[in-house]
Chains A and B, each alone.
Chain A
Amino acid sequence: SSNEHKLNFKKSKEACLSYIQDALLQKQWKRAAEFLTCYVESLEKDYSREHIGPSEMIWRIGTEILWHHSQSSMKEFNCFMEQMKTLGVKRYLKVCLEHVFHLLCDGQIDEAYQNLSLAESWRFGEQTAIQDKEMKLVQAYRGLLDYYSWSKQKNILLEQGEDGFSDLAVEQEMHGYFRKAAVNLKEIIKIPGVWDIFVKCYVDLLEFYGDHNEARQVLNEYAYNSKFPANPNAHVYLYQFLKRQREPKKSLISALKILHDIVPSHELMIDFNTMLQKSKKRKKRRLGLEVIFAALDYAGWKENAKAWSCLARQVKQIVISEKHLDWIKQEWNSRKDWWPAFHFSRYLAKRNWQEDKSLSYEKALVAGILLGKGCKYFKYVSHQGCKAQLKRFRMLKKFVNRHNLVYLKISG
């Protein structure tokens, strides 16, 4: 409500903005446009004291409206963006970049490329130096589009190769794109930041042309340089590269170690655990157990049969060897209070049995060892399994019965 009868330009426009904001949040594009129409005259007033001026507001709001409004076209959108570019010199490159993103979303790759080239050639006194970062981004994205073109040429070449042809022109073009792309991509990844897509593309290029050393260096930098923000993907890319290069397990393991620290629930933890389990080194096997337990702490893994089979395998192996039961004890210590309800409830026993027998098998094994043969989960599943006359469940029952006292030692 408006108790404030004193109304001036500034307050009026503030109120206008809040109506626009409400409309945007509720996706009422027509209404937002209605109020924006009234807001635009703010441009005629200088707001140099404000943090965000009207020109920026209008750019951002207008973009949203034109992007979503049913009656708006790309033509109108482009026209608007061009106007916005002239509005604020200090934002010129930012506006260009956002425009390019929208064009890409709309599938207009060529248009986007043209805009990027245009932006790259922009010069404006000292602003050029001030907007250096944005310029690098412009160049990087152009590099990305060059990579995309390179990729297309590469595919053409590969197809032709299959047919037995080989078009020199295509090849030349392809190399040309490579050069252009490589130059720009290399530049941007020097700057600390999150450049996943650029890194991936650059490494792809390097691998294709056989420059594995450079690729390795790039990936190592990206993953291990402390100036760069912690990024799980960096480690994933490195790991995948090393795997492609058929590096020994040792380096693969070291690549995944930090990933485990950052994202214990990452999907590669299964691979990690598998490698670690098979290791001859005790420390590695110990780590493997830690890794798989940690992964299963997360709800997303609850019904992952593969993960449970990893854990089951390792637990089984430890129990049979009768060595390192203390490992399980250590891992179980912090989990014994909540894992039973989290994983091994009777409800879950029923559901798992209904939906995925393998899953229930693996889980039952783990439950039986950790909680003893009297636990709800094991009892239900093994009973069902034996009733269904499935051999492995009978074996499971025997195994757990045999090692029934383990759970006492573990829970100690």
Chain B
Amino acid sequence: RDFNERCAQCSEVNWGLTDGGRFYCRSCHNVTERTREVVNTDFITNSRVQTISKGSRKQEKNDGGSEWYICEGFQLVLKKQVEALEALGVCPQMKDEILCNFWRCYLQKSKQAYCKRPAPETVKTSSVCESSTDMDSDPERPSLLHLLSLSESEGDLQTDCSFASSVSKVSESTSVYSGSVDGSLYLMKNQKEKLRMTMPMTLSFCYMALLWVREPITLSELLRYVVEGHIPYLNVFQHFPEKMKLCGLDLKIFCVESWPVYEEVFNQMHELATFLDLPRFPDITESCFLHPDMLCMKYLMEANLPDELHIWTCRVVKKIGIGEVDFLTLVPGNKSTRKVKYDVLAVAVIVVVLKLLFLLDDHYEWLLSEYAEERNKNNTEVYIFYSGGPYFEFKKWYEVVKHCLDVKQKKLDEERAKYLWRCEKPLFYSVKNKSKVLKRRQMVVNLQNQFGKLSGSVQCAEKPNPSSFQLSWSEKNTDGSCFHGHSLKGVLQEKRGLLTAMNPDYWLCTVKLCNEKLCGHLAHYKEAEFPQSYHFVLGLFSFLLRVQPSYIHDEVCMIEHKLFNKKLYKKLKYNTVLRS
């Protein structure tokens, strides 16, 4: 076992001993001349090797590591994340006061720490671990394969199984095959009883803390920062200290191979808030960034839409009551209120406003645009200047924004294809695996160097600076590509002293809302069933928020039904068919 040379034939380090005491390479059966001078009685040439169990509580290990628990790992992750948030400008109380307390509360509630007795299962683990290689005798002890299949990680299961099967042939009590003390236990836990900590959940923690402090960072922004690398998530375990050795099942817990999904993080955050028995969160008032009026302004700017639309978004917000403090503020445990997705809500309001003013049925908006174009042609520049900006032309806006969006989307698609998921710190399931993993890593690095040189373009390793706005439009541009200052007068008319939309019609996205609890959605969006303009607008916000268009569509449906509640009720009563 001390023989660490590489095999001359296949470069593996995988030696066994022949009966004659010579070393032979297990991978290619190349027999060497080297013999063991001292026969180590520990070494047995049959396939079942017995080693000391890792479950017993030893402070020192052979490889310089020490004992550590999974929740310690997560604590480190959270620490790193909140430090990154601090660097982004979030208030420092978030780390020391808010998140810290949330975390302690969590540990307490899930009985991992800060309580009188540690969870009974941990005691069980250690007693079970002293045993022999005979796994079948104890039915309660789960096999490695079983544990791997329980995990939520999206890793390729086959990998793990193939590794596992190779591991189980040689190793000892595989139920505790992890660098951490309770890795296997962690995967075994019954999810329903206690909210099990996962990597996506660290983001739920962060978001919860941000919400508590009412920081001007929406969930979609947070997730975007994660993807852009400003907040550690992907390979955060490389920051674990040396003595915290990661291997085996720990990988399943800490290594992510997919980006977090808005819905998942959002839902988990609410579950978490309930689990922690948190009180009502601090009020979201009109002056908060997360209030729809504020967010609408932000997204209107980002979408290059006229500032004048803000009046309309505010009107809609007021009319359906989604600007009320009680509606917006989170009360954990209250199952009757719909959970508010601040960013999605805001963009949905904008979509509804656009539908109100422009109809977006693939006809009317273009008509209005032509009308505006005519007006703009006839007016002189001076007139435009004094009358508050040119008429807003939907067509021009569409062209400008579409072009920009296409470019950005293309870039994003390429970036996604070029993501590097692995990092320098090697991951291996077992020590047996280590040399293979290191070899592979070396080859990957070599190939990256070789082909990197041939790539031509400079490999920019710098992350873009974190920015709240992904699209920006400047009124200083003389090419007229900024529509903020444009006027809506082409689509409005005065009626009884009030400005209303010229557009008399409206089409509902759906006549009847689905039962969200049954099918998970309020509506089911299919691109082909809706006008192109509507799809475009959904697509624009979908890009900005990095969520599926259908997600925004659901919210739009919800708003529409609130807005036209009375009319709907009346019309349904008289059995009239609405345009849809």
Interface size class of B (residues with CB under 8 A): 35 or more
The contact of B416 among A3, A7, A34, A123, by CB within 8 Å, is A7
Q: Is B162 an interface residue (CB 8 A)?
A: yes
Q: Given that A41-B444, A43-B443 are contacting pairs, would A35 and B418 also be in contact in the complex, using a CB cutoff of 8 Å?
A: yes
Q: Is B258 an interface residue (CB 8 A)?
A: yes
Q: Is A58 an interface residue (CB 8 A)?
A: yes
Q: How far is the CB of B433 from chain A (nearest CB, A)?
A: 11
Q: Which of chain A's residues has its CB closest to B449's CB?
A: A37
Chain A residues within an 8 Å CB radius of B446:
83
The contact of A124 among B28, B257, B262, B414, by CB within 8 Å, is B28
Q: In the complex, are the beta carbons of A45 and B454 less than 8 A apart?
A: no
Q: In the complex, are the beta carbons of B416 and A2 less than 8 A apart?
A: yes
Q: How far is the CB of B446 from chain A (nearest CB, A)?
A: 7
Q: In the complex, are the beta carbons of B451 and A62 less than 8 A apart?
A: yes
Chain B residues within an 8 Å CB radius of A66:
454
Chain B residues within an 8 Å CB radius of A45:
156, 159
Of the candidate stretches B276-284, B496-504, B540-548, B556-564, the one touching chain A is B540-548
Q: In the complex, are the beta carbons of B28 and A48 less than 8 A apart?
A: no
Q: Which of chain A's residues has its CB closest to B422's CB?
A: A41
Q: Given that A1-B413, A7-B259 are contacting pairs, would A34 and B156 also be in contact in the complex, using a CB cutoff of 8 Å?
A: no
Q: How far is the CB of A402 from chain B (nearest CB, A)?
A: 75
Q: Is B450 an interface residue (CB 8 A)?
A: yes
A19 to B411, CA, bound (A): 12
Q: Which of B159, B441, B444, B456 has the most CB of A within 10 A?
A: B456
Q: How far is the CB of B328 from chain A (nearest CB, A)?
A: 25
Of the candidate stretches A8-16, A138-146, A210-218, A356-364, the one touching chain B is A8-16
Chain B residues within an 8 Å CB radius of A3:
542, 548-549
Q: Is B158 an interface residue (CB 8 A)?
A: yes
Q: In the complex, are the beta carbons of A44 and B444 less than 8 A apart?
A: yes
A58 to B451, CA, bound (A): 11
Chain A residues within an 8 Å CB radius of B412:
2
Q: In the complex, are the beta carbons of A15 and B546 less than 8 A apart?
A: no
A35 to B455, CA, bound (A): 8
Q: In the complex, are the beta carbons of A46 and B159 less than 8 A apart?
A: yes
Q: In the complex, are the beta carbons of A29 and B440 less than 8 A apart?
A: no
Q: In the complex, are the beta carbons of B454 and A69 less than 8 A apart?
A: yes
Q: Which of chain A's residues has its CB closest to B447's CB?
A: A40
Q: Mark A13-45, 1 if CB is under 8 A from B, else 0.
A: 001101100000000011101111110110111
The contact of A37 among B154, B409, B414, B448, by CB within 8 Å, is B448
Q: In the complex, are the beta carbons of B455 and A34 less than 8 A apart?
A: yes
Q: Mark A114-134, 1 if CB is under 8 A from B, else 0.
A: 000000000111000000000
Q: Is B420 an interface residue (CB 8 A)?
A: yes
Q: In the complex, are the beta carbons of A48 and B418 less than 8 A apart?
A: no
Q: Given that A46-B158, A47-B156, A62-B451 are contacting pairs, would A86 and B11 also be in contact in the complex, using a CB cutoff of 8 Å?
A: yes
A135 to B542, CA, bound (A): 56
Q: Is A80 an interface residue (CB 8 A)?
A: yes
Q: How far is the CB of A82 from chain B (nearest CB, A)?
A: 11
Query: In the complex, which residues 251-293 of chain B have their Cβ closer than 8 Å to any Cβ of chain A?
Result: 257-259, 261-262
A33 to B437, CA, bound (A): 24
Q: In the complex, are the beta carbons of B421 and A9 less than 8 A apart?
A: yes
Q: Is B452 an interface residue (CB 8 A)?
A: yes
Chain B residues within an 8 Å CB radius of A226:
none
Q: In the complex, are the beta carbons of B451 and A12 less than 8 A apart?
A: no
Q: In the complex, are the beta carbons of A72 and B454 less than 8 A apart?
A: yes
A123 to B8, CA, bound (A): 12
Q: Which of A16, A31, A40 has the most CB of B within 10 A?
A: A40
Q: Mark A303-324, 1 if CB is under 8 A from B, else 0.
A: 0000000000000000000000
Q: How far is the CB of A72 from chain B (nearest CB, A)?
A: 6
A338 to B520, CA, bound (A): 67
Q: Is B59 an interface residue (CB 8 A)?
A: no
Q: Is A71 an interface residue (CB 8 A)?
A: yes
The contact of B422 among A1, A6, A44, by CB within 8 Å, is A44
Q: Mark B130-157, 1 if CB is under 8 A from A, else 0.
A: 0000000000000000000000001010
Q: Given that A16-B418, A40-B447 are contacting pairs, would A30 and B409 also be in contact in the complex, using a CB cutoff of 8 Å?
A: no
A92 to B78, CA, bound (A): 46
Chain B residues within an 8 Å CB radius of A89:
10
Chain B residues within an 8 Å CB radius of A71:
453-454
Chain B residues within an 8 Å CB radius of A123:
28
Q: Is B457 an interface residue (CB 8 A)?
A: yes
Q: In the complex, are the beta carbons of B413 and A83 less than 8 A apart?
A: no
Q: In the complex, are the beta carbons of B258 and A6 less than 8 A apart?
A: yes
The contact of A12 among B163, B416, B546, by CB within 8 Å, is B416
Chain A residues within an 8 Å CB radius of B261:
5-6
Q: In the complex, are the beta carbons of B443 and A87 less than 8 A apart?
A: yes
Q: In the complex, are the beta carbons of B258 and A7 less than 8 A apart?
A: yes
A120 to B420, CA, bound (A): 39
Q: Is B29 an interface residue (CB 8 A)?
A: yes
A40 to B9, CA, bound (A): 25
Q: Given that A6-B258, A76-B450 are contacting pairs, would A12 and B444 also be in contact in the complex, using a CB cutoff of 8 Å?
A: no
Q: In the complex, are the beta carbons of A12 and B443 less than 8 A apart?
A: no
Q: In the complex, are the beta carbons of B441 and A48 less than 8 A apart?
A: no
Q: Mark B415-445, 1 if CB is under 8 A from A, else 0.
A: 0111111100000000000000100110110
Q: In the complex, are the beta carbons of B259 and A8 less than 8 A apart?
A: yes
Q: In the complex, are the beta carbons of A30 and B457 less than 8 A apart?
A: yes
The contact of A125 among B11, B28, B158, B454, by CB within 8 Å, is B28
Q: Is A387 an interface residue (CB 8 A)?
A: no
A318 to B381, CA, bound (A): 93
Q: In the complex, are the beta carbons of A83 and B414 less than 8 A apart?
A: no
The contact of A30 among B259, B450, B455, by CB within 8 Å, is B455
Chain B residues within an 8 Å CB radius of A69:
454
Q: Which of chain B's residues has its CB closest to A76's CB?
A: B450
Q: Is A49 an interface residue (CB 8 A)?
A: yes
Chain B residues within an 8 Å CB radius of A37:
447-448, 451-452, 455, 459
Q: Is A381 an interface residue (CB 8 A)?
A: no
Chain A residues within an 8 Å CB radius of B437:
44
Q: Mark A229-262, 1 if CB is under 8 A from B, else 0.
A: 0000000000000000000000000000000000
Q: Given that A5-B548, A9-B257, A83-B443 are contacting pairs, would A48 and B455 also be in contact in the complex, using a CB cutoff of 8 Å?
A: no
Q: Is A400 an interface residue (CB 8 A)?
A: no
Q: In the complex, are the beta carbons of A15 and B416 less than 8 A apart?
A: yes
A12 to B422, CA, bound (A): 13
The contact of A48 among B154, B158, B262, B454, by CB within 8 Å, is B158
Chain B residues within an 8 Å CB radius of A31:
455-456
Q: In the complex, are the beta carbons of A44 and B441 less than 8 A apart?
A: yes
Chain B residues within an 8 Å CB radius of A49:
156, 158
Q: Which of B9, B163, B259, B437 has the most CB of A within 10 A?
A: B259
Chain B residues within an 8 Å CB radius of A29:
454
Chain A residues within an 8 Å CB radius of B29:
125
Chain B residues within an 8 Å CB radius of A83:
443, 446-447
Q: In the complex, are the beta carbons of A65 and B454 less than 8 A apart?
A: yes
Chain B residues within an 8 Å CB radius of A62:
447, 451
A65 to B443, CA, bound (A): 18
Q: Which of A38, A69, A80 has the most CB of B within 10 A?
A: A38
Chain B residues within an 8 Å CB radius of A2:
409, 412-413, 416
A83 to B440, CA, bound (A): 11
A-B contact pairs, 17 of them (CB 8 A): A2-B412, A7-B419, A9-B258, A10-B156, A30-B456, A33-B454, A37-B448, A37-B452, A40-B447, A40-B451, A41-B420, A41-B422, A65-B451, A65-B454, A83-B446, A89-B10, A125-B29
Residues of A within 8 A of B (CB): 1-3, 5-10, 12, 15-16, 18-19, 29-31, 33-38, 40-41, 43-49, 58, 62, 65-66, 69, 71-72, 76, 79-80, 83, 86-87, 89, 123-125
The 10 closest A-B pairs by CB, nearest first: A8-B258, A30-B456, A46-B159, A9-B257, A15-B417, A33-B454, A34-B455, A16-B417, A38-B418, A40-B447
9 new A-B pairs (CB below 8 Å) besides A6-B259, A34-B455, A37-B452?
A2-B412, A3-B542, A8-B257, A8-B259, A9-B257, A36-B447, A41-B422, A124-B9, A125-B28
